[in-house]
Amino acid sequence: MRPPFLDRRAAGLQLAKLLSPQAGTMVLGVARGGALCAAAVAETHALPLDIIVVRKIGHPMQPELALGAVSSYGEAVTTEHAGGLSPHLFQSLIARSRREALSLETRLRGDEPALPVDGKPVIVVDDGIATSATMMCALHALRNRGATSITCAVPVAPTDSLAYLRAQYDRVRVLIEAPDIPFAVGQYYFLFGEVPDARVREELARFRNS
């Protein structure tokens, strides 16, 4: 069966149809993959585009197992998988992921500052959700920076993650609510390769110069 989305931009264009943003709204893509979806949303509605950098905190023995997530600003959230680790080890993993997030943000932004979100409604876009950790971390980071309302918008996510996020976000918009198990975001895309840093920089530059 053909996946429902050709690529991240195509998914973002479909996602944009679910959204009716108010004046002054900002669109933030979760870097890197979410930035391409977010660019399509921002372009459709003629809104400013920026990124938010959140890194998964991987288990030291199973890197794909998410213990939580940390933003480049320092906010961190945990999942149920973090319970078996010592506090000292977990704090060291948070610190390492934060360094990775800061490094990525520097590579993507260069000398350009983040757009201020204080007093603004915000739409946070990712290319999909596996656990809710990344989107919850983004929510805390944006609330701490004064966003007035925050919408989570994704092409695809599993039912259990969406139920949790709907209780936390002001609004949640999703194109496909998927079964919980088995689930992988990439199976819903025909093209789902890793997004290079340069591709995100191109999108940010395009909006800054428009």
pLDDT in tens, 70-86: 999 999 998 876 667 78
Rounded to an integer, the average pLDDT of 9-19 is 98
156 and 176 Cβ atoms separated by less than 8 Å: yes
CA dihedral sign of residues 104, 108, 114, 119? negative
DSSP secondary structure code for residue 149 in this structure: E
- C-beta atoms surrounding 186 within 10 Å: 13
15 and 43 Cβ atoms separated by less than 8 Å: no
In a domain, 124, yes or no: yes
The total of structural domains in the chain comes to 1
- C-beta atoms surrounding 67 within 10 Å: 27
Q: Which helix (H) or strand (E) holds 21?
A: none
Rounded to an integer, the average pLDDT of 33-50 is 98
In a domain, 144, yes or no: yes
164 and 132 Cβ atoms separated by less than 8 Å: yes
DSSP secondary structure code for residue 132 in this structure: S
- Which residues, 6 or more positions from 85, have their beta carbon under 8 angstroms from its beta carbon? 67, 93
104 and 36 Cβ atoms separated by less than 8 Å: no
Judged on CB neighbours under 10 Å (0-12, 13-18, 19+), 81 is middle
102 and 109 Cβ atoms separated by less than 8 Å: no
pTM: 0.94
In a domain, 103, yes or no: no
Question: What is the per-residue pLDDT for 6?
Answer: 97
In a domain, 97, yes or no: no
CATH assignment at residue 20: 3.40.50.2020
In a domain, 49, yes or no: yes
In a domain, 158, yes or no: yes
**Structural domain boundaries, residue 45:** 8-54+117-208
Q: Is the pLDDT of residue 93 over 70?
A: yes
In a domain, 163, yes or no: yes
In a domain, 37, yes or no: yes
